Amino acid sequence: MPLLTIETTCDETAAAIISKDRRVLSSVVASQDELHARWGGVVPEVASRAHLERIIPVIDEALVKAGIAISDLVAVGVAVSPGLVGSLLVGVSAAKAIAATLNIPLVGYDHIAAHVYACRVAHGDAMQWPCVALVVSGGHTSLFHAISPLELNRLGGTIDDAAGEAFDKAAALLGLGYPGGPLIEKAAVGGRADAFRFPRPLSSDRTRLDMSFSGLKTALRYVVRPVGVDPVPPPPTGQKRADLAASFQEAIVDSILAKLFLAIQHTGAHTLAVGGGVAANKRLRAAIEQFAIQQRIRVLIPPPSLCTDNAAMGAIAWERLEQGSVDGLQLDIHPGTDRTKAYRS
C-alpha cells in the first residue's frame, strides 16, 4: 500500500515511494545546484522551470526504483508550505493530476514539519513526541516544541537570515561557490575555530529563544573586504581562508547551541530532533551530540541525505492519512508562511 510523495518547495525536485510502515521504497532527488551556482543563490523563475522539466522523470524514476506501477499507489502526498510560489505550484499540480486520474486521496503537508519527521523516517520508533525540534536550513532556522508529528509550536528562531543562508553568503564572500554550507565545511578543515572572534548575537540573552545571523555575515564581510581598501582584495586563500571558514562555522554552531540549551530547559523535553540541510554539517552534528550527552537527552539527527531537501520525509503524509484527514483537488499552496503550526487542511 505505497504512497507517492512529491517535494518541490525550493530548488530540489524530489519524489519518494513510502510504505504504510514508513519504509522508504525509493527516494529520488534531482538537484538544481548547477543551475543556480552562477547566481550564488536560488533564482525562483529558473527553479520553477527546472521543476517543470524534471517532475515527471523524477516521479517515473521513483516508481521504477520502488518496483511498482503507478496504479499501485494508494495516495499522493505533497509539500504545500512554505516555499517559492512557482516551485510549489509545479509539485502540487503534478500531485493533483495523479490523485485525480487514479481517484486516490491527496494530502498536503508542511515542509518544515517534514524536516522534523525525517527523524522518524531515519530512526523509527526511537523518535518520540513531544520533543524539541530544531530545523536549520537555507530558508529556516527555528526551534519548536513538537507535540506530535503534525503539531509544532514555535519557540523561537532566527530574526533575520537563516543559518544556511549565512553559510551560502559567507561562501560567496570567500569565493567558494554555491551551495555554501558544504563548501565552508570543507574549507574549514585544518582551520582554527578561534582564529577570528565573530559575533554571536542574542546568545547570552536568556530571555528569548531567538537567534540572528545577519551581523555575522557582515562581520565576515569587513574582514574579507575592509572598508576603504581599494581595489577590493581577492578572496583569501590558504590558512587564512581555513581559519575564517572554521571561525564562521563555529559562530553558527555556538549561536544554535545556546538556544538549544534554553529550549530544553524551557520545555523539559527529553528528546531533541534535528533536521534541515545545515544539520548535514559534521561540526554541528558533533556539537549537538556532545550537548545531548551533557544534558542527558536523546538526540535524533537523520543521515545527511535526509537532512537536505528530499521527498522521503514526506512520509509525514501518512500521519494525516491515518487520521482520515485528506485534501480535495482545491488544495492550495501556502508559500510565505513560516508556519508555527504544521500544515492542516
**Interface contacts to ligand KG4, rule CB under 6 A:** 10, 137-139, 164, 167-168, 179-182, 185, 276-278, 280-281, 308-309
- Which lies closer to Zn ion via its Cβ, residue 117 or residue 198? 117
Q: φ and ψ at 29, to 5 degrees?
A: -130, 120
If contact means CB under 5 to 8 A according to the sort of partner, which of Zn ion, ligand KG4, none does residue 164 touch?
ligand KG4
In degrees, rounded to 5, the angle at the alpha carbon of residue 143 between the alpha carbons of residues 141 and 146 is 130
Tell me the β-bridge partners of 299.
272
**Contact residues for 304 (Cβ-Cβ < 8 A; gap 6+):** 279, 280
Rg (the chain; Cα; Å):
20
Residue 1 Cβ, how far from Zn ion at the closest point, in Å? 27
If contact means CB under 5 to 8 A according to the sort of partner, which of ligand KG4, Zn ion, none does residue 181 touch?
ligand KG4
If contact means CB under 5 to 8 A according to the sort of partner, which of ligand KG4, Zn ion, none does residue 236 touch?
none
- Which lies closer to ligand KG4 via its Cβ, residue 10 or residue 299? 10
**Is residue 137 at the binding interface for Zn ion, with CB under 5 A as the rule?**
yes
The three three-digit cell numbers of residue 184, written as one number: 565552508
Residue 187 Cβ, how far from ligand KG4 at the closest point, in Å? 11
Residue closest to ligand KG4 when measured from CB atoms: 181
Residues 305-344 close enough to bind Zn ion by CB under 5 A: 309
**Is residue 249 at the binding interface for Zn ion, with CB under 5 A as the rule?**
no
74 vs 2, 23, 96, 181, 324, CA distance in Å?
A: 6, 15, 14, 37, 13
Number of residues in contact with Zn ion, rule: CB under 5 A? 2
Residue 111 Cβ, how far from Zn ion at the closest point, in Å? 6
**Contact residues for 276 (Cβ-Cβ < 8 A; gap 6+):** 115, 134, 135, 136, 137, 140, 141, 164, 307
If contact means CB under 5 to 8 A according to the sort of partner, which of ligand KG4, Zn ion, none does residue 77 touch?
none
- Which lies closer to ligand KG4 via its Cβ, residue 212 or residue 267? 212
- Which lies closer to ligand KG4 via its Cβ, residue 157 or residue 181? 181
HEC profile of 37-98? HHHCCCCHHHHHHHHHHHHHHHHHHHHHHHCCCHHHCCEEEEEEECCCHHHHHHHHHHHHHH
Residue 87 Cβ, how far from Zn ion at the closest point, in Å? 12
If contact means CB under 5 to 8 A according to the sort of partner, which of ligand KG4, Zn ion, none does residue 180 touch?
ligand KG4
Residue 164 CB neighbour total at 10 angstroms: 26
- Which lies closer to Zn ion via its Cβ, residue 6 or residue 224? 6
Residue 278 Cβ, how far from ligand KG4 at the closest point, in Å? 4
Residue 139 Cβ, how far from ligand KG4 at the closest point, in Å? 4
Q: Whole-angstrom Cα distance, residue 194 to residue 276?
A: 26
User: Which residue is it, cell 564572500?
Assistant: 173
Number of H helices, E strands in the chain: 11, 10
Residue 278 Cβ, how far from Zn ion at the closest point, in Å? 10
Residue 341 Cβ, how far from Zn ion at the closest point, in Å? 18
Q: Whole-angstrom Cα distance, residue 176 to residue 235?
A: 9
Beta-strand relationship, 106-110 and 151-157 = unpaired
Q: Whole-angstrom Cα distance, residue 9 to residue 86?
A: 9
Contact 144, 109 (CB under 8 A): no
- Which lies closer to ligand KG4 via its Cβ, residue 61 or residue 338? 338
- Which lies closer to ligand KG4 via its Cβ, residue 2 or residue 139? 139
Draw the binding track, 281-310, toward Zn ion (x: CB under 5 A; -: no contact): ----------------------------x-
Binding site for Zn ion (CB under 5 A): 137, 309
